Structure formats: C-alpha cells, structure tokens
Amino acid sequence: MKILHVEEHGVSLEEVHEVTRFHAKILHPKFSVISLILRLLSWNVDVHCELMLYLTVKKETLIPRLYLFPSNPGQIQAVEQQESKFQGSSRIPISRPEQSFKLNSSFRLNIPCSTAINPPRIHLIHRDTTPSFFKAVVKMTGIDIEMELFSDDERTVWKEIVSRDEYVSDTRSTTLTLPGIPAEEFLKKHRAILIQGVKNPMPIADDLSSKSMIGDEEYSRIKAETTEQDRMRELLNAVLPKGPEVTGACLKALIEHEHHLVKYLSESST
C-alpha cells in the first residue's frame, strides 16, 4: 500500500509500513513536517531564496541552469547531487537576492543572448524533491552572460553578469597562431559573434589608429557609439573594406585583447 502525497506542483508516493483502523504509519516519509507546516502558512511567509547556477558548454552552445528555491541546506545538497550526474556541468559562483520574497510568488528569467528559456516562470515553494530550475540555450560561447530575474509584477529583483573567464578554461599559451583562413574571411564569417562577444573594442581601435590603419574620423565614429556592440560593428565596417594588411592587423589586435573569444572561434572553425 502507498499513500499519494499531493503538492501544488507535483505528487509523490509514500510507502506504508503499518495500517490500523484509523491510521497509516510511514516509517521513512519523503516529505518533512517542517515543509508541511511552511506550506500551510505559505501565504504570509517571507523567505530568503537561494540561486545556484550551473553551466554546460557544448561546442558552440552554452546551457545555463539556474535553480531557485527557499534557503534550505537539504535542497542545496539535492541540487549538487543532481548536477553531479550531468556530464560537463560546472557550478558558477553568483550572488543571491538580499531581499526576502513571499512563498508562492513566481519569477521570470531573462537572458538577452539566449534562444530559449524554460519554464517561463518558477514558483518559490518548498519542495521535497530537487528544486526546479530555469534551463536556457545560448547559441554562442566565449561571451559574457547577462541574467535578470523578474518578480510577479515585473520588477527586477536580481541581476548578474557571468564573465566568460569564469567558464572558459584558460589554456592560454604564450602565443596563439592565427586561424588557418585569411583574416578578412575570419572577420566576415564570425562578424555577428564578434559584435556580441567583444568586451571592449576601443583597445583594438587604439592599436589600429596608432598604426594609421584607421583614420581619425573613423576612430571618432567608433568612439562616439554608445554600446560596445555598436562600437565593434563600426570598427568592422571601417576595417573590412581595407584589404588583407588592415584586416590582418585587426585580427592580431583581437588575439591580443580578446584571446578567449578568438581561440574559441578558431577551434569551432576546424
């Protein structure tokens, strides 16, 4: 005989060890008394929550998994045990929201560079199983990952930027050989990723300007842009029409200032 234990977001079966006329005894319940009491009081309970981020890198795809649950050492352990079964999973240290939240409130995750995030929302509830998590798909690696968590009323309650240096292994040697394709072809092929992935284009523009590879007016247009993406786009617009000498100098500057990104793109091209 088993007892069906129904929760708001799932069910579980409890093994019955002894049955009397009025009672059923469960020697090893999967649910906790504390958890049951908190659920009964959940409409008026404020709790602090935990956020645990794990990343898996698969060639050109990055898969973040963000767990959200009320602070509970047992749940932290449950997450660690589950993630140990995922090949290539690594935990990334992140901050957690300092304010408390109402149990049963829901949250939405936004990652601007992602192509999918599931589920759309997660409810902050006590669970007797492994906590729920957001799973995202990012179709590029070697970039910084911006994350933002929104509450029921669409207020931002948490923000984080995960630097690519935190999840890209540093296997840097003293030099990195240029990709086995012409610099112009490399820049054109990876234009979209370079625009999104280059942290700071200005040191690259400075190098090219100091060698008279780009003119003062072109440099000014690059500097005048208000986002790093637009600056990199303007930089490539200035460089690509100028031929192999300038595109080669641009790629060398990229290797110096954006080593991890160029390394990733070089390896993905082979």
- How distant is the alpha carbon of residue 177 from its chain centre? 29
**What is the rounded distance in angstroms from the CA atom of residue 83 to the CA atom of residue 92?**
12
Phi/psi-derived region of residue 60, left when phi > 0, alpha when psi is between -120 and 50, beta in every other case:
alpha
Residues 154 and 243 in one domain: no
Q: What pLDDT score does 238 carry?
A: 95
Final residue of a domain: which of 99, 133, 166?
166
Would you say residue 249 lies in a domain?
yes
Supply the CATH number for residue 244's domain.
1.10.533.10
Residue 100 phi/psi, 5° resolution? -95, 165
Give the CA radius of gyration of the chain.
Answer: 25
Amino acid identity at 136: A
Q: How many domains does one find in the chain? A: 3
Final residue of a domain: which of 138, 166, 194?
166
Residues 76 and 138 in one domain: yes
Q: What pLDDT score does 198 carry?
A: 92
Q: What pLDDT score does 173 carry?
A: 35
Supply the CATH number for residue 55's domain.
2.60.40.2660
Would you say residue 175 lies in a domain?
no
Would you say residue 178 lies in a domain?
no
Residues of the chain with pLDDT under 50: 6-12, 170-177
**What is the rounded distance in angstroms from the CA atom of residue 11 to the CA atom of residue 6?**
4
Q: Which residue has the tokens 């500097």?
A: 223
With residues binned 3-state (H G I as helix, E B as strand, rest as coil), the percentages for the chain, rounded to 5, are 35, 25, 40
Residues 12 and 65 in one domain: no
- Measure Cα distances from 5 to 12, 14, 30, 31, 158 in Å: 5, 7, 9, 8, 33
**What is the rounded distance in angstroms from the CA atom of residue 254 to the CA atom of residue 163?**
18
In terms of Cα–Cα distance, which of 137, 152, 124 is closest to 51? 124
Q: What pLDDT score does 27 carry?
A: 60
Residues 130 and 52 in one domain: yes
Residues 148 and 197 in one domain: no
Range of the domain at 26: 2-31
Instruction: Report the chain's terminal Cα–Cα distance, integer Å.
Output: 59
Query: Which pTM value belongs to this model?
Result: 0.54
Would you say residue 150 lies in a domain?
yes
Residues 58 and 150 in one domain: yes
- Measure Cα distances from 81 to 58, 90, 254 in Å: 21, 12, 40
Length, in residues, of the chain: 270
Q: What pLDDT score does 150 carry?
A: 95
Q: What pLDDT score does 218 carry?
A: 94
Instruction: Report whether 175 contacts 266 (CB < 8 A).
Output: no
Instruction: Report whether 131 contacts 68 (CB < 8 A).
Output: yes
Would you say residue 174 lies in a domain?
no
Amino acid identity at 213: M
What does the buried/exposed string (b/e) look like for 84-110 if buried means 16 or more CB atoms within 10 Å of the residue's CB?
Answer: eeeeeeeebeeeebeeebebebbbbbe
Residues 68 and 100 in one domain: yes
Find the helix or strand (DSSP H, E) in which 53 lies.
strand 49-58
